[in-house]
Amino acid sequence: MINRMTASTATDPGLEELYERLDTAAQLLAAGYSSFQERAGIVQRLCSGEITTQQARDEDRGE
């Protein structure tokens, strides 16, 4: 049996942030409020680290 590292067992704090960004990106792409093209732009900026997960959610909602 292979013991896989997960975000909850990783010791690197950056992994938790990466997991949160990827999870938010997937949620936005699957079911966001803005158009798909707008969401894709938000996700691109989110994954590049330009904006936080909260900023991405706010932008998607038009806030």
pLDDT tens digits for 2-11?
555 565 665 6
Chain segment 11-62, per-residue pLDDT in tens: 677 777 888 999 999 999 998 898 999 999 999 999 898 999 999 999 999 9
Spatial contact of 21 and 46, defined as CB atoms under 8 Å apart: yes
- What residues contact 16, with CB distance under 8 A and at least 6 apart? 7, 10
